[in-house]
Chain A
Amino acid sequence: MTAGVSVRDVHKSFGPVPVLNGVDLDVTPGSVTCLIGPSGSGKSTLLRCVNHLEKIDAGEILVDGELVGYRQVGDRLYELSAKAIARQRASIGMVFQNFNLFPHMTVLENIVEAPVHALRMSRVQAVAAARARLAQVGLAERESAYPRQLSGGQQQRVAIARALAMRPKVMLFDEPTSALDPELVGEVLVVMRDLARDGMTMIVVTHEMGFAREVADQVAFMYDGAIIEAGPPAEVLNHPRHPRTAEFMMKVL
């Protein structure tokens, strides 16, 4: 069910501005990797490359052993069609900083939309699955609410349920708690912690050091478009080797 992710020597620039300068990262199936680092270091861009929301300029990204965005025949790369990319994305869940729930649909409609129209699941089946996912994030009774009637924490939990309804092999979280009021952060982290315990492969861009320390199998520190230190949380967070990491940890702790 879950899959690994490997990122090999990935480069990416926005026009003349380089954002990723040779990123390498291996995420084993069922493990949790937290990406930390100063803003502008390329964490979010890297995450967005994994489901091809951004195109990479060089290197390769594999999810479950499958090249993202391209098809390789011999040593030639063919760009995938929009349809094939959509199929790849369907198995990679993504949760955004600003939730990005569809405001004109109810909670249930938000969750059912993609299983019915991207996976061609029957509506009855999709609704049943959606209710199960809502129960999983603790919002079973809010299915007919519109997103704006929910608190930020509840919206983010719906967004997680929406991603889970696609039965993804990997979940990407792009600063999932950064837009939340402090007292709402906990309820989202609890859901994510449960997900990690159930063995979901997760890549989490976060500033929540407590979460990284407690849940992550691997913490990767990004600086200036590259991962300059990666390892178990106790090592990277408590005994950073690279001076840049040490400096960053001084500031955030």
Chain B
Amino acid sequence: MSTVQIVEHDRERPPAIRAVPVRRPGRWIATGLAVAVVAVIVYSVVTNPAFQWDVVGRYFTAEAVLNGLVNTLWLTAVALVGGFLLGTLLAVMRLSGSPVLAMISRLYVWFFRSTPLMVQLLFWYNISLLYPRLFGFDTRNLISGLMAAVIGLVLYEAAQAAEIVRAGILSVDPGQREAANALGLSRTRVIWRIVLPQAMRAIVPPMGNQTIGLLKGTAIVSTIAVHDLLFAVQLIYNQNYQIVPLLLVATLWYMILTTLLGIPQYYLERHYAKGTDGEMPPTPAQRLRRRFAGGAR
């Protein structure tokens, strides 16, 4: 006895709901407290003369500080690039068909992750005690403090990067590799053109995090007398005893650098997000251009 009904939607839309919002007194109290705490801290930082902001200003762009800054920057860059390349190699070894290569890669990562960076740096710094001569040269001439820092940072970073890259490669759908193989693409082409570009989406965010950690971590090389940013300010305050203002100089520079590091990461993430869901938000540059184009109209 059932009959088919055609449903027509010609009714008028009911009025939109207009209700009194719930009161949230707890939220207001918490907000007030938080603002008060922040205000007290800011007030003390600005008014406490012991911070000596004028001294900070004087040394902020001092030549010794800037030289240390440059050293910190290129140490970070070398460790990042070298570590990423070696780490990628280690990840590929780990995922290769050869159980021996995979085991070597695992041992490497295990070894370099299970000891503190500080201890590793001291080891490289004192390597001449183990091997007095290397390749026919006096090891002490070959491995300076700076060289020990470079070697130590690259090898340590590689172990971290290897795990990040491996996770990235594993995050790529195995069907991608199959489809590429089925098309007759060569193994290297499959890795470089199909798998790695997709893996980069999962690699860039933790690698950015890792880079910020690395930049700050380079401060540790000051313990083996490498002239980095921290070492530079230490040299100065050892002479003039202005410890706090000079530490503030280093602190501000580290903050500026880590903030700036977020910019290339943002663009890298956009680059590797090609073809993923939805429209990408405009970059700041695009937003500016659009605003001016709009204003001109």
Contact = CB atoms under 8 A, between A and B. Distances in A.
A98 B189 CA distance: 22
Contacts of B184: 86-91, 114, 118-119, 166
A53 B178 contact: yes
Interface stretch (A16-24, A100-108, A189-197, A234-242): A100-108
B274 interface: yes
Contacts of A86: 181, 184-187
A162 interface: yes
Contacts of B186: 82-83, 86, 117-118
A117 B190 CA distance: 10
A123 interface: no
B198 A118 contact: no
Counting chain B CB atoms within 10 Å of each CB, the highest count among A86, A88, A92, A94 belongs to: A86
A162 B181 CA distance: 13
A162 B175 contact: no
A211 interface: no
A102 B197 CA distance: 10
Nearest to B272: A104
Contacts of B173: 100
Given A104-B197, A104-B275, A89 B181 contact: yes
A94 B277 contact: no
Interface residues of B, number: 23
B276 A89 contact: no
A177 B180 CA distance: 20
B270 interface: no
B275 A162 contact: no
A204 B98 CA distance: 35
B193 A113 contact: yes
Contacts of B275: 103-106, 146-148
18 contacts: A82-B186, A86-B184, A86-B187, A89-B181, A90-B183, A90-B184, A96-B182, A98-B175, A102-B194, A102-B198, A105-B275, A113-B183, A113-B193, A117-B185, A117-B189, A118-B189, A148-B276, A163-B183
Interface of B: 173, 175-176, 178-187, 189, 193-194, 197-198, 272, 274-277
Given A82-B187, A83-B186, 19 more contacts: A51-B182, A53-B178, A53-B182, A86-B181, A86-B185, A89-B184, A90-B183, A94-B179, A102-B176, A102-B179, A103-B275, A106-B275, A117-B185, A118-B184, A118-B185, A119-B184, A146-B275, A148-B275, A162-B183
Interface of A: 51, 53, 82-83, 86-94, 96, 98, 100-106, 113-114, 117-119, 146-148, 159, 162-163, 166
